[in-house]
Amino acid sequence: MQEFTVTLNGREVAAEPGMTILELARREGVHIPTICHEPHLAPAGGCPSISSCRVCIVEEERSGNLITSCGAFVTPGMVINTASQRVLERRRTIVELMLASHPDSCMVCLKGNRCQLRQVAADMGIGLVRFQRIPLMSTITDANPFIKRNLSKCILCAKCIRACQELVIEGAVDYYRRGFVARPATAGDTPLEESECTFCGTCVAMCPTGALMEAEPLYRGTAGTSVPTTCPFCGCGCTVRLKVKEGRVVRVIPNNDDPVTRGTLCVKGSYGFDFIQSRDRLTTPLIKVDDHFEAASWEEAFNVITAEFKRIKSRYGSNSLAVFGSSKCTNEENYLLQRFARCVLGTNNIDNGSRLYGTPGLTSCDPASGFFGATNSLTAMEKADVILVVGADPTVSAPLVGYTIKRAVRCMDAKLVLIDPRETRLSMFAETWLRPKVGTDLILLNGMAKAIIDEGLHDAEISEETIDFKAFAKSLSAYTAAFVEKATGVPYTEIVKAAREYATSGKAAIVYGHGITQHVNGTDAIKALTNLALLTGSRSKGTCIYPLQKENNAQGACDMGALPDFLPGYQQVSDLKSRRTFEDYWGIIPAAAGLTAFEMIKGAKAGTIKGMYIVGENPAASFPNSKFVSEALSSLNFLVVQDLFMTRTAKLSNVVLPAASFAEKEGTFTSFDGRVNWLTKAVQPPGQSIPDWDIVIKLAARMGHAMFYSSPREVREEIGKLVPLYKGIGYGSPEEPLDQVRAKGGFRSPLVYRKRPDRIPSFYLVHMTATPDRTNGEYPFLLLTGSNLYHFAGGTRTSRAPRLRKYSLDAFVDIGEADAEKLEVSEGDRLRIASSTSEIVATARISDTLPERVVFMPFALACNPVSQLLDIILDLERKTPIVKCVSVKIERIGSHGQAGSKQSN
């Protein structure tokens, strides 16, 4: 259909087919009030709106009909009147009827001036309601500290229901009953905490009235300032708005303008921000004198650091120093930090915290197609026809990815093939759920590849488009049905079913997480996934691979060269030409690759590393075998820690530098799928603390190396010049609306790591013949580790967010029914879990789906005890520790309610 004309309020205007009347009116600058309309709730191809509130009615003059403009499409020749006498009268009645059952509590309602109903009523000049008042009753009491429901204020617009079912796909609420008593309710009409609700806060942000409110708010009014910035927790890179009142961040809401997050957030994003204002924040530099810290000025702190670093450098050489950058700091800061290590200290001993999660491993793996990181954007994942999720529970570790996968399955009819030994929220969405024995993913993936080749489901031109296909196909002959079935414990028919679904459904996406990267043969398993991607045409149909990342800027820290073997943009430090590019700007760069994080720690213990500079990381708490790490760090001659809080690592240091949090500085974060998001300064850093970039520049100047940047923007401009991946990033500033910056082409968002055109992808011959069994008589259980929705990383920040702390603090361990029966364990019992390294105490939760002799315990509890059980066993290729599982023994030590061990961070 061609463009046509319609009459809007007496004016001829052009309209396109598929446009709603509301869209047309908004484009033409004609205001129509709405309440239930929400653009993010319009699924592709679905209805644009459900028109439940009726407030947006307009008159079609030819037919004389009153129609809701949000759900009606324009048709040729329509004569629309948005403000006829009839429309205004009806609209007024509609709003008055809503108010007739609405309580008179506006004065004390937390929604205050943000209430859409109140705004619409005020705009229409509605004062006292002429109808008989029939108030609704609300009897629900939710005990959770996140969301409070007062359904007497509900106008049944269904935004919360649709947000829950169409955006975050939890389905915790739906309409319940009908007529006047109808309301949104959970299954069984239970409190939210007994439902599937994950407290993501999306519905709270969308609710037009005070029916859904933030529980335990920091501020009851409407904050004056709203600052767009980026969430500092996981690698999804959700943009948020910080609401600021008198220099304090009082509320966080999703950024509704972000086309990727579409108005969603998770519980950490919505309710985990208050660590910014924690009383525990460091406010002044501290210098250790004897056994305690004394407050010092920046001047004094810099003097001590400069003197010590210079002394160590001249006495033991540059390579006795090491810098540990942060996957939580901005791109600019990591860029400066690696320059500091390379040009000021003169060493390539620089690494970042994502080493723990295997992210830098991607660089050594160099997937066949030549990418570093995700091969496509998150929005492309939603359009996939089949999604293969391996060793990841994105619903917990990367909620936005979880939403995307669930949306693809429920709303776009994609198929989900899940490979996970443990039941997760995704299991119920999976078309096929394979449950291999722990650590046998590689055999399973090779088995799938063989099934695809045996059935001839691979691409026809595969031999011409790739390298080594024949050798690869031949090498799979060992993966017979019997072998694969025995090794993985998965029935072969299931594997063939999964292989068929994966290979024949069309466009495929592969998502993998730490269930792959943190295992012994993790790198090989990634290569096996790459093979799968190549088999069904990473070229023709565009199979995309998404490695999930745990931390907000894990991708950026690696992109910026906070790595021992790579300069920014993954340019080899050993390569003279690459070094030259940067040396023109910075001065001499050492050529030999440096040490990885764990090699640094081991070096510290061995005495080869004398001084360390740790920025925004807490290895003493978050690394495996924390006892060993603490000892190693204590044996350093000199340790500087730069952080927000007095962490366990900071306590071991000689000088502590107070840094600014994400809300107190500007810069950029790169999400796991390569989107670069802005950080905007919303509040002042507490006390004397200053942003990390400022500290690094000042420290470099003291050490005799001037870095001529006056702001992160100037750093960004240099990055835009020198790092091909970030070409042009310097332009634009956070104040400008995103779309304008994008329009100028100066902002790489959403950036996609595209395949290298100069390379022909090659198959990897990766094998595993023996099945690992790390359990033994003494340690008969395999403890799997994973993420926790309510706490993050070492819990340094989330344990200081009061509401997150309140909701989930205790350490728990999931144990299968059969094992629990054998050990005579019941729900809530205290268990002692011991590995060869250490032992911890946790509360038992009985699971009916865990395999035998496997228990599960998440990282990221506020007291983070799991890492104590793990030992530093490195994957040789990536130097990433194997922290996905450890063999343990379990003993019941007490029943419900008895106190266990508790440690501070």
Decide whether 64 or 179 has the Cβ nearer to another protein.
179
* Span 379-418, contacts to another protein by CB under 8 A: 410
Q: Kindly state the smallest distance separating residue 99's Cβ from another protein, in Å.
A: 25
> Which x/- pattern, by CB under 8 A, does the window 262-301 give for another protein?
----------------------------------------
* Span 315-344, contacts to another protein by CB under 8 A: none
Decide whether 181 or 876 has the Cβ nearer to another protein.
181
CA distance 330 to 335: 9
CA distance from start to end of the chain: 64
Decide whether 181 or 706 has the Cβ nearer to another protein.
181
Choose, by CB under 8 A, the member of 62, 86, 177, 902 that binds another protein: 177
Q: Does 186 bind another protein (CB under 8 A)?
A: yes
Q: Kindly state the smallest distance separating residue 212's Cβ from another protein, in Å.
A: 15
Decide whether 60 or 170 has the Cβ nearer to another protein.
170
Number of residues that bind another protein (CB under 8 A): 18
Only segment of 167-175, 385-393, 841-849, 875-883 that touches another protein (CB under 8 A): 167-175
Q: Does 188 bind another protein (CB under 8 A)?
A: yes
Q: Does 50 bind another protein (CB under 8 A)?
A: no
CA distance 12 to 15: 10
CA distance 513 to 493: 25
Paired tokens of 718 = 């240099």
Go through 566-575 and write b for each residue having 16 or more CB atoms within 10 A of its CB, e for each that does not: bbbbbbebee
Decide whether 389 or 534 has the Cβ nearer to another protein.
389
In sequence order, the 6+-apart residues with CB closer than 8 A to the CB of 583 are: 589
Choose, by CB under 8 A, the member of 74, 185, 476, 496 that binds another protein: 185
Decide whether 127 or 179 has the Cβ nearer to another protein.
179
CA distance 378 to 404: 8
Q: Kindly state the smallest distance separating residue 424's Cβ from another protein, in Å.
A: 15
| Type and span of the H or E element at 13 | strand 11-15
Single out the residue of 859, 862, 864 nearest to residue 799, CA to CA.
862
Only segment of 39-47, 62-70, 178-186, 564-572 that touches another protein (CB under 8 A): 178-186
Choose, by CB under 8 A, the member of 47, 122, 143, 187 that binds another protein: 187
Decide whether 175 or 180 has the Cβ nearer to another protein.
175
Q: How many CB atoms lie within 10 A of CB 411?
A: 17
In sequence order, the 6+-apart residues with CB closer than 8 A to the CB of 283 are: 658, 686, 687, 688, 689
Decide whether 188 or 777 has the Cβ nearer to another protein.
188
Q: Does 195 bind another protein (CB under 8 A)?
A: yes
CA distance 664 to 281: 13
Only segment of 163-171, 523-531, 650-658, 744-752 that touches another protein (CB under 8 A): 163-171
Choose, by CB under 8 A, the member of 28, 61, 96, 174 that binds another protein: 174
Q: Does 165 bind another protein (CB under 8 A)?
A: yes
Q: Does 180 bind another protein (CB under 8 A)?
A: no
- Tell me which residue has tokens 């509401």: 803
The angle at the Cα of 578, spanning 576 to 584, to the nearest 5 degrees, equals 95
CB 813 within 8 A of CB 881: no
Helix axes 692-702, 331-339, angle to 10 degrees: 20
Q: Does 140 bind another protein (CB under 8 A)?
A: no
Decide whether 147 or 462 has the Cβ nearer to another protein.
147
CB 617 within 8 A of CB 337: no
Only segment of 118-126, 186-194, 306-314, 563-571 that touches another protein (CB under 8 A): 186-194
Q: Kindly state the smallest distance separating residue 834's Cβ from another protein, in Å.
A: 37
User: What sign has the CA pseudo-torsion 855, 859, 861, 867?
Assistant: positive
CA distance 884 to 391: 10
CB 440 within 8 A of CB 521: no
Go through 828-837 and write b for each residue having 16 or more CB atoms within 10 A of its CB, e for each that does not: ebbbbbebeb
CB 808 within 8 A of CB 788: yes
Q: Kindly state the smallest distance separating residue 165's Cβ from another protein, in Å.
A: 7
Q: Does 628 bind another protein (CB under 8 A)?
A: no
- Tell me which residue has tokens 């056994």: 291
Q: Does 178 bind another protein (CB under 8 A)?
A: yes
Q: Kindly state the smallest distance separating residue 492's Cβ from another protein, in Å.
A: 24
State the alpha helices, DSSP H only, in 652-775. 692-702, 712-722, 738-743
User: What sign has the CA pseudo-torsion 740, 741, 746, 750?
Assistant: negative
Only segment of 61-69, 129-137, 188-196, 438-446 that touches another protein (CB under 8 A): 188-196
Decide whether 47 or 478 has the Cβ nearer to another protein.
47
Q: Does 171 bind another protein (CB under 8 A)?
A: yes
810 CB-side CA count, 13 A: 17
CB 468 within 8 A of CB 762: yes
Choose, by CB under 8 A, the member of 110, 173, 236, 526 that binds another protein: 173
Q: How many CB atoms lie within 10 A of CB 576?
A: 9
Q: Kindly state the smallest distance separating residue 203's Cβ from another protein, in Å.
A: 13
Q: Does 62 bind another protein (CB under 8 A)?
A: no
* Span 531-560, contacts to another protein by CB under 8 A: none
Report the interface residues with another protein, using CB under 8 A: 165, 170-178, 185-188, 195-196, 410, 428
